[in-house]
Amino acid sequence: MRTQVGIVGGGPAGTLLSHLLHREGIDSVVLELRQRETVETTVRAGVLEHDTARLLESTGVGERMEREGAVHHGVELRFDGRGHRIDFSDLTGKSITVYGQQEVVKDLYRARDEAGSPPIFEAAATGFEGLETDRPKVRFRRGARFDPEAGEIRFADGSAEEEVECDFVVGADGFFGPSRQAIPGSVRKEYTRTYPFGWFGILVEGPPSTEELIYALSERGFALVSTRSPTVQRLYFQCDPDDSVENWPDGKIWAELAARLKSRDGSWKLEEGRIFQKGIVRMRSFVTEPMRYGNLFLAGDAAHIVPPTGAKGMNLAVADVRFLAKGLTQHYRDGSDGLLDRYSEVCLRRVWKASRFSWWMTSMLHAFPGEDEFQHRLQVAELDYVTSSRAASTSLAENYVGLPMDEM
């Protein structure tokens, strides 16, 4: 198989890149390990920065997002039982859009279907060749299924190894994919921060408790209230990352959330409903440098992970592939590699800024094991400053709605 750009990973990063390249007349092949149904039905958070939403609109895959997504003009920070709104529109003139990651992927798949080049699903990359040459290859096998119990990929009987020969390889296959490992350890440097807590998340069938996201700090720890749709709500609270969902019956969950989110005057009520999904998300920060090796480019979670507190994960992936698409377009249009040569440098500047913001939000809003009352009071003072100073509120708002992509 021959193409111009071989893309490993058919999530939002890889599929958006394929879509952007197609609009510029550049061919690509996308390999995705999972089944299409799995990708489309796995509910994932979807806080889209201002420029992310505008990019989807301008490239023809934002129609359903405009119709079904919820535009938010601020968030609430709640501490000491009082809510304080950060007004994005007033402070930055921008907004965010809440629209699930799986919905973004559905829209991108539909666009790739219409173009006649959807991802190849259940296709596992098995190796790479010639990454430092102008004809790199990606080896893969079809009929792949990941066995979570065995922790390995299994293949259908009779599946043979194939290869994609291309000009460039893009690894958008997440943290556990093989692309990053293809960069020699002597070249690759990795930075990791593991947080001593996780998020216990639930999906709830019921009415919304809030029109905008609520980030809450209490002496019991962090809590977050958000909305997925008019009938589905997503709520989180800080927990031990080694805890088990079996330890949390529904009644205990609602009691914990109510305790962390209660308002002093009793004016706010947490709406309950049928909990139909529970899970624990571990918290970590991760960055790998460089994001390019030869003609292999890393994008999205293959190169960086941030804690979800700052809502930056998918937005960073979008920024990566937006810049990469520009660089590849420049290469094929006039033979210049100026943007491609700057890919790692430019993207990492944004990655580290987003990592800083996500770390700051996480540190400000979570109870750390072993901390004393002094530390908690410092966090409250920080929140008090952020919500009472226009300059501090603007800094939070600018980062939350997203630093301008036009500067990339």
Tokens of 20: 């952007």
Tell me the C-alpha distance between 74 and 137, whole Å.
46
Closest CA to 203 of 226, 178, 177, 170: 226
Match 């080896």 to its residue by tokens. 139
Residues 190/32, Cβ–Cβ less than 8 Å: no
Phi, psi of 324 (to 5 degrees): -65, -40
Buried b (16+ CB within 10 A) or exposed e, 304-325: bbbbbbbbbbbbbbbbbbbbbb
137, 165 Cβ separation under 8 angstroms: yes
- Point out the residues that are catalytic: 72, 215, 308, 312, 400
Burial of 377 (0-12, 13-18, 19+ CB in 10 A): exposed
Token code pair at residue 297: 């480019």
- Buried b or exposed e, range 105-128, using 16+ CB within 10 angstroms: bbbbbebbeeeebbbbbbbbbbeb
- The angle at the Cα of 8, spanning 137 to 184, to the nearest 5 degrees, equals 65
Please name the helix (run of DSSP H) or strand (run of DSSP E) that holds residue 293, with its range, or none. Answer: strand 292-293
Which residue from 296, 289, 283, 287 is spatially nearest to 178, judged by alpha carbons? 296
**Vertex 329, ends 323 and 330: CA angle to 5°?**
90
User: Distance (Å, rounded) from C-alpha 386 to C-alpha 87?
Assistant: 12
Residue 51 near residue 185 (C-beta atoms within 8 A): no
Residue 231's CB: how many other CB atoms inside 10 A?
A: 12
Q: What single letter denotes the amino acid at residue 382? A: E
Extended beta strands in 114-188, E state: 120-121, 124-129, 137-141, 144-147, 152-155, 161-165, 168-171
